């Protein structure tokens, strides 16, 4: 029941250093990918490398504001799709460069992308309301993000293992 004087100052929130770092990394991905694609666009796997760099750029720089207008939804879903598929694209690139493995042909390539596609199906299913469980959407989002992190780590580590074996 005590009145207090408060000065309210409305201003734009400044970007945190970690967010600025992410933007710099994203810009570097895009610059490297464009450089390789424009310089050596006809080289084997240049397009694949460009797609990897472009998806990494999207993962690093696309951050939705929470307004969830149409543009914000595109940014959100771009970030979700990139987050799910960048590790799979990386693993596929390590398995296909410089020459594809014998067993990595045709439909077998889809095995690399299958876990990300299944998780994306869950994201879309829950967000569209086609799949329902007794949890709030916020809790479902938290759970899906907790499933995504091990997928990201395992897939990147598998790509690193392929590179280590090839380097030997």
Complete DSSP assignment for 33-56: HHHHHHHHTTSTTHHHHHHHHHHH
Q: Hey, is 134 helix, strand or coil?
A: coil
What pLDDT was estimated at residue 118? 95
Residue holding tokens 């309301």?
129
What pLDDT was estimated at residue 131? 85
Residue among 54, 73, 55 at smallest CA distance from 64 = 73
Residue among 114, 113, 82, 99 at smallest CA distance from 45 = 99
Contact 118, 131 (CB under 8 A): no
Question: What is the distance between the alpha carbons of residues 168 and 166, in angstroms, rounded to a whole number?
Answer: 5
Residue holding tokens 């992410």?
22
Residue among 136, 135, 139 at smallest CA distance from 147 = 139
Burial grade of 9 (CB within 10 A; 0-12, 13-18, 19 or more):
exposed
**If you ran DSSP here, which 8-state letter would residue 16 be given?**
P
Q: Does residue 45 carry a pLDDT above 90?
A: no
What pLDDT was estimated at residue 9? 79
What pLDDT was estimated at residue 1? 81
Whether the pTM exceeds 0.75: the reply is: yes
Q: Does residue 44 carry a pLDDT above 80?
A: no
pLDDT band of 147, cuts 50, 70, 90: very high
């Amino acid at each position: 029941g005590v009145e207090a004087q408060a000065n309210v100052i409305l201003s734009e929130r400044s970007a945190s250093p970690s967010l600025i770092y992410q933007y710099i990394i994203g810009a570097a991905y895009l610059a490297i990918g464009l450089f390789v694609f424009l310089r050596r666009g006809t080289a084997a796997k240049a397009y694949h490398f460009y797609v990897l760099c472009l998806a990494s750029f999207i993962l690093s720089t696309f951050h939705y504001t929470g307004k969830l207008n149409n543009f914000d939804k595109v940014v959100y879903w771009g970030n979700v799709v990139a987050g799910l598929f960048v590790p799979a694209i990386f693993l596929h690139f390590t398995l296909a460069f410089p020459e594809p493995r014998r067993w990595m042909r045709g439909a077998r390539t889809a095995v690399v992308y299958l876990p990300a596609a299944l998780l994306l199906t869950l994201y879309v299913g829950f967000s569209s309301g086609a799949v329902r469980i007794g949890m709030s959407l916020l809790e479902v989002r938290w759970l899906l993000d907790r499933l995504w992190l091990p997928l990201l780590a395992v897939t990147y580590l598998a790509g690193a293992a392929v590179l280590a074996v090839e380097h030997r």
